[in-house]
């Protein structure tokens, strides 16, 4: 996705969630201090089919359908995927998933895309040093060694990454846009915010499908 196409969407998303865009910028600059690699290291995956793994409640029922492509796991799904299938090819994270599992997968060969946004600067300071061979991403303005493929949350950013790599087919597993899958101790404001993010994720994936000349299917297994 071209940044010129992404930025108007980003402005709408950040307005709807009252996100501080300058904090997104500051977080991006911070991340570049820890990770500064070219994304050419993932070129061997170009042109291959992609499976995107999210953390929906239906995840365990559909993981067995993965065959004949590479796997990108959104960080909240890493525990389930790792327990059943080992290390994925790639992990997309804003550093709020199970960090022990993500670090272990990274040390065992998974490519990790570490994302910067205004709310995760403390996590970047704490964890980014463990991913020196990773790839840094932002939802704000890209710059050298800081990439913006499009997308906002870990799941939809994974799909935009696969599209960037020219995946002929992108299959989404464990995606649920209606039900919030959060720990019980989250307050109602956080749940409401998550619901808005899910609406945006669904919209962005539909947008991506349309840009690919198709439409997004529905069900436990989603094709775009």
Beta-carbon contacts of residue 56 (< 8 Å; ≥ 6 apart): 174, 175, 176, 179, 181
- The confidence score (pLDDT) of residue 42 equals 97
- The confidence score (pLDDT) of residue 114 equals 98
CB 165 within 8 A of CB 42: yes
Task: Going residue by residue through the chain, which has 224 residues, state the pLDDT in tens, using 9 for 90 and above.
Answer: 999 999 999 999 999 999 999 999 999 999 999 999 999 999 999 999 999 999 988 888 898 889 999 999 999 999 999 998 999 999 999 999 999 999 999 999 999 999 999 999 999 999 999 999 999 999 999 999 999 999 999 999 999 999 999 999 999 999 988 876 655 566 777 778 889 999 999 999 999 999 999 999 988 899 99
* Cα three-residue angle 26-30-36, rounded to 5 degrees: 130
CB 133 within 8 A of CB 38: no
- The confidence score (pLDDT) of residue 178 equals 84
CA–CA distance, 148 with 106 (Å, rounded to integer): 21
Half-sphere exposure of 172 (CA within 13 A, CB side): 30
CA–CA distance, 23 with 144 (Å, rounded to integer): 19
The total of other beta-carbon atoms located within 10 Å of residue 108's CB is 10
Which DSSP category does 39 fall into? G
- The confidence score (pLDDT) of residue 182 equals 53
18 SS3 class: coil
What are φ and ψ of residue 165, in 5° steps? -85, 5
CB 170 within 8 A of CB 52: yes
CA–CA distance, 4 with 104 (Å, rounded to integer): 36
CA–CA distance, 106 with 169 (Å, rounded to integer): 25
Structure tokens at 38: 């070219």
- The confidence score (pLDDT) of residue 184 equals 56
The DSSP string of 88-121 is: -SEEEE-S-S-HHHHHHHHHTT-EEEEEE-TT-H
Entry pTM: 0.94
- The confidence score (pLDDT) of residue 189 equals 76
């Amino acid at each position: 996705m071209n940044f010129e196409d992404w930025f108007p969407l980003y402005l709408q998303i950040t307005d709807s969630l009252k996100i501080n865009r300058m904090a997104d910028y500051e977080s991006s600059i911070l991340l570049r201090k820890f990770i500064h690699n070219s994304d050419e290291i993932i070129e061997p995956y170009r042109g291959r089919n992609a499976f995107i793994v999210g953390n929906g409640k239906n995840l365990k029922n559909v993981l067995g359908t993965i065959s004949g492509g590479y796997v990108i796991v959104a960080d909240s799904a890493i525990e389930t995927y790792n327990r059943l299938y080992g290390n994925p090819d790639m992990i997309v994270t804003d550093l709020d998933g199970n960090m022990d599992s993500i670090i272990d997968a990274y040390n065992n060969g998974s490519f990790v895309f570490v994302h910067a946004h205004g709310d995760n600067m403390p996590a970047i300071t704490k964890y980014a040093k463990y991913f020196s061979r990773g790839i840094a991403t932002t939802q704000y303005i890209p710059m050298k060694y800081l990439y913006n493929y499009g997308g906002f949350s870990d799941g939809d950013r994974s799909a935009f990454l696969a599209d960037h790599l020219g995946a002929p087919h992108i299959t989404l597993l464990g995606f649920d846009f209606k039900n919030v899958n959060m720990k019980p101790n989250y307050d109602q404001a956080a749940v409401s915010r998550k619901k808005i993010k899910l609406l945006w994720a669904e919209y962005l994936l539909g947008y991506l499908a349309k840009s690919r000349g198709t439409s997004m299917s529905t069900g436990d297994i989603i094709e775009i």
